[in-house]
Structure 1
């Protein structure tokens, strides 16, 4: 499972739609804290992320990426994101309807899968986001078709449905999207809206508040060595701007020795690896290093040593 937060923020380059998530994949007795969960579709103006059962959700995300890769209209952005949403919804729904389930009361975790697609619509000149989830969330009897294959009965689940749309008006009203396990998502929403209520500002903007809330949750799991929670690992952070470009941030995060090191898409970079991404420090919520050709840990050991004592958040 995963916590995803999507909101509209103001930057020095204008407004941007932001998306953050954690980096833990969990299943059975396995915990893997360096896994990518946030993706830029290969057209540059939209992001996609997921929460829920990994073995199914990862496949759906990969097929969504493949759909864009094999469409010239989509890659060139001739196809607007609003039209892409419909195409992806059809593709994903078709895939889900073909999953074979042994027992009618077993949804294989489909009801927990939620996908966020967010970006900028040139056709409507506004930011838009969609939360896509299974009809099993609202329809208890999701096994709609029974077939017989090799003397074994299988069930096909209901397809995923687009159940929520967030447009510019929604975001302008200082709303946001939070997905994940019910308890964890409610905890995040509660904390975020508590901060909003306690603000004295008459024109509330989320700013970095979602990052701070997510940061505190993930750092707490890290320092407590919590292997029970489904949300852990480094924070992943990407944005889409009005001019139709995405920005992926490298995020500073404590490793297993509590040394704050750069991560990309949840993965700690190698000692000799140079990376072409702004380095974001979640402790102070700002970019502390712009990309340059020698920014690896080996090349900048003195710099990384110097920032270990940056403002603590716990």
Structure 2
């Protein structure tokens, strides 16, 4: 019950990797304040999930723990391209250890994981989708591909529900902005997610958008969101609405202008 995204934002000299998702979990009810993006302890990479939380939450916690206790991973001496393989092996080993399933229930996880971050080895942003392949009975990965078009400047990974609706909306928005065949993404992927959440007609997604930016200086930073709009004054971070007395050091997105507010000033 998710839409999860990772795209490279390219505007003039700005280039950054953005990961975004909704905040809804479903288990016979709807819970719209649940974190789905986790910054790994090395702080240059994130992991995000879509699908069955019975698998996703324990696996993400173990991924965070694995990075925290491994000196070379924690210090970034091992690049994210090597980290991805390590996390994939952890994932498959954890799934192998599931046992005593009810009769007739197979151990084929309905979950996908998005790993994204900055690679110092390749001097480029990288993202991969980790997905379960029933033909080999294991999780495997595929890299993010470029957007179909003449320039290859657009790069986005999409996983979860309503992928086809999402793509159609994104294409329509890019066409409206005359950006379908040229240039890179700005905040269009987040604008589409915002509109789908506001529509209220997609039952499997909900809550405020969650956003994390990853920068070339090997740092990931979460952002809050005024939700459902800035006028409401309500701020959500990681999907959870802040309490009245809570403050945040993070930038807060205005979902309509896609600018951020920090210390009462508008910043990029």
1:50 matched to 2:29? The reply is no
* 2:19 paired residue number: 19
1:180 matched to 2:160? The reply is yes
* 1:73 paired residue number: 72
Equivalent of residue 225 in structure 2, options 246, 251, 255:
251
TM-score (norm 2): 0.88
1:91 matched to 2:80? The reply is no
Equivalent of residue 203 in structure 1, options 177, 182, 185:
182
* 2:259 paired residue number: 286
* 2:121 paired residue number: 123
Quickly say closer, same or farther: Cα 1:194–1:105, change in 2 above 3 A.
farther
Judge conservation of contact 1:114–1:132 (CA < 8 Å) in 2.
yes
Moved over 6 A (4+): 167-171
Judge conservation of contact 1:14–1:242 (CA < 8 Å) in 2.
no
Larger RCO (alpha carbons 8 Å, 6+ apart): 2
Judge conservation of contact 1:128–1:168 (CA < 8 Å) in 2.
no
Q: Alpha-carbon deviations, 1:177-222, whole Å to 9, x = none?
A: 11012xx11110121123334543453222111111100111122x
Residue 160 (structure 1) shift: 1.3
Residue 279 (structure 1) shift: 1.1
* 1:240 paired residue number: 214
CA distance in 1 between counterparts of 2:208 and 2:147 reads: 31
CA distance in 2 between counterparts of 1:12 and 1:173 reads: 12
Equivalent of residue 277 in structure 1, options 250, 261, 268:
250
1:194 matched to 2:172? The reply is yes
TM-score (norm 1): 0.76
Unpaired stretches in structure 2, ≥5 consecutive residues: none
Judge conservation of contact 2:117–2:127 (CA < 8 Å) in 1.
yes
Aligned residue for 2:247, secondary structure, equals coil
Judge conservation of contact 2:223–2:250 (CA < 8 Å) in 1.
yes
Unpaired stretches in structure 1, ≥5 consecutive residues: 143-157, 296-314
CA distance in 2 between counterparts of 1:200 and 1:13 reads: 20
Q: Alpha-carbon deviations, 1:24-72, whole Å to 9, x = none?
A: 1111x22111010011101111111000001111111111111111111
CA RMSD for the aligned pairs? Answer: 2.6
Residue 11 (structure 1) shift: 5.6
Quickly say closer, same or farther: Cα 1:12–1:247, change in 2 above 3 A.
farther
CA distance in 2 between counterparts of 1:174 and 1:101 reads: 45
1:212 matched to 2:200? The reply is no
* 1:166 paired residue number: 144
Structure of higher CA gyration radius? 1
Aligned residue for 1:272, secondary structure, equals coil
* 2:59 paired residue number: 60
CA distance in 2 between counterparts of 1:219 and 1:11 reads: 26
Judge conservation of contact 2:9–2:18 (CA < 8 Å) in 1.
yes
